[in-house]
Amino acid sequence: MDKVARRQVALWLLICSAMVFGILVVGGVTRLTHSGLSIVEWQPIVGIIPPLDQAEWDETFEKYKKTPEYQQVNHQMTLDEFKGIFFWEYWHRVLGRLIGVVFLLPFLYFWLRGKIEPSLVPKLLGIFILGGLQGAMGWYMVKSGLVDDPRVSHYRLTAHLSLAFLIFVAMFWVALGLLAERARSAHGAGLRQLQRIGFWLAIVVGYMVVSGGLVAGIRAGKAYNTFPLMNGHLLPPESFIIDPWYLNFFNNMALVQFDHRLGAWLLAFLLPWFWWKIRSAAVSSTARRVATVLLVALFVQIGLGIATLLLAVPVGLGAAHQGGAMVVLGLLLWLNHELRLAPAAGRTT
């Protein structure tokens, strides 16, 4: 696989990664505007065409009227108001299909032209399969809100969100590997320690994604809208009122929000320490720059989280906070990848 082919494949994967970021933000707006249950059917092919005339709009609206969300929450909604929520969900689904096409067609082209090395093919096929599972998980999530309770399962929502991040991680990491022009290196105890710290920080960010999905799913951001304490408490006294006790970690607004805050506090202390260690280590100048940008991005993300909480989750801030999580994760992946490469020639301090 020559250098030009590697760069072409990497660029394609970066474009797909950017599209995943885009669908994450659109998905956040869809959730925050309560638009996700507006389309009550999953039609992967014909569903790409929206209603085109009044009769089709009336038919689509009638289907929505049979859902628990309309009957229990939106029973006074007009057709024009319905169109507003319909199109958020519609574009979310269209973007998902578009990502599939933008991934599959170039993959087949690169593969048939011999531009993808054989060892890379299973990884790319695995990413494509994850994309298909993500689409199925999205519908599985929507179905949970079309039965009795007009809310989707927070477990399914968290799984849907986590899969999006997993797909992004896989594509972005492979792209970074293709763009690397220096050999992998793990020499030196100090460098190996930085690599281990970077790995565990990525795990903490992953934990933040999962806990954030639970916060969104049970709408815990609408409660305890104070900071730094939670309505005057470090840990609210009602944090373990559900029996059995372990369900509080998934279903209790107080404990779910506390757990998400705890992850943010961990990152707020650990990442500056990690940045300081990188500044004094024999790493590339790129690693130093990425570490600095990552530090700034983290504190912007924390600021977004605090503002989102204090203002009881306005749509714009909530979507920005969700997108910010992927920005932080992407920068951390880039830094982790850079730390696994041999330092650039001439860089010894």
Q: Domain residue spans in the chain?
A: 1-179, 187-349
Q: Is 341 helix (H, G, I), strand (E, B) or coil?
A: strand
Predicted confidence (pLDDT) per residue in 195-251, tens digit: 999 999 999 999 999 999 999 999 999 999 999 999 999 999 999 999 999 999 999
Ligand-binding annotation for 154, yes or no, is no
State the average pLDDT for the chain.
93
Q: Is 230 helix (H, G, I), strand (E, B) or coil?
A: strand
Q: Is 195 helix (H, G, I), strand (E, B) or coil?
A: helix
Predicted confidence (pLDDT) per residue in 256-290, tens digit: 999 999 999 999 999 999 999 999 898 889 999 99
| The pLDDT of residue 149 is above 90 | no
Alpha helices in 218-284 (DSSP H): 248-251, 253-279
Amino acid at 86: F
Predicted confidence (pLDDT) per residue in 301-333, tens digit: 999 999 999 999 999 999 999 999 999 999 999
* pLDDT computed for residue 349 by the predictor: 42
* pLDDT computed for residue 244 by the predictor: 96
Rounded to an integer, what is the distance from CA 61 to the centroid of its chain? 30
Question: Which residues touch 128 (CB under 8 Å, ≥6 apart)?
Answer: 100, 103, 104, 107
Predicted confidence (pLDDT) per residue in 45-91, tens digit: 767 899 999 999 999 999 999 999 999 999 999 999 999 999 999 99
Ligand-binding annotation for 75, yes or no, is no
